[in-house]
Amino acid sequence: MTNKILVTGGAGYIGSHTCIALHEIGYDIVVYDNLSNSSREAINRTSTLIGQPIEFIKGDIRDAELLRQVFASHQFFGVIHFAGLKAVGESVAKPLMYYNNNVSGTITLLEIMAEYDVKNLIFSSSATVYGDPENLPIDETSKRSCTNPYGQSKLAVEHILEDLAVSDTSWSLITLRYFNPVGAHPSGQIGEDPNDIPNNLMPYISQVAVGKLDKLNIFGNDYPTIDGTGVRDFIHVIDLAQGHVAALNYLEKQTVPNESGVAKQNSIGFLPINLGTGKGTSVLELVSAFSDISGQTVPYQFTNRRDGDIASCYASADTALTLLGWEARLSITDMCRDVWRWQRLNPNGYKKDL
Ligand code: NAD
Ligand code: UFG
Question: Global pTM?
Answer: 0.97
Name the residue of 19, 36, 43 whose CB sits within 8 Å of the most ligand 1 atoms, as the mutation to test its pocket: 36
**Distances from the Cα of 92 to the Cα of 88, 97, 133, 147, 188, angstroms:** 7, 10, 21, 10, 33
**CA 213 – CA 209 distance, rounded (Å):** 8
Of these residues, 13, 98, 130, 150, which one is catalytic?
Answer: 150
> Please, which pLDDT band fits residue 353 given cuts at 50, 70 and 90?
low
> Is 150 noted as a catalytic residue in this protein?
yes
Q: What is the mean pLDDT of residues 3-30?
A: 97
Confidence of residue 57 (pLDDT cuts 50, 70, 90): very high
Tell which CATH architecture fits domain 4-345.
Answer: 3-Layer(aba) Sandwich (3.40)
Cα 141 to the center of its chain, rounded Å:
20
pLDDT over 70 percentage in the chain: 99
55 confidence band (pLDDT: 50, 70, 90): very high
Q: What is the pLDDT of residues 220-272, one digit of tens each?
A: 999 999 999 999 999 999 999 999 999 999 999 987 777 787 777 789 999 99
Nearest CA to ligand 1 atom 22: 83
Which atom of ligand 1 has the smallest separation from the CA of 11? Answer: 9
Query: Which atom of ligand 2 is nearest the CA belonging to 126?
Result: 35
Residue 203 beta carbon below 6 angstroms from any ligand 1 atom: no
User: Which atom of ligand 2 is nearest to 88's Cα?
Assistant: 33
* Predicted pLDDT of residue 177: 98
Q: What is the pLDDT of residue 265?
A: 78
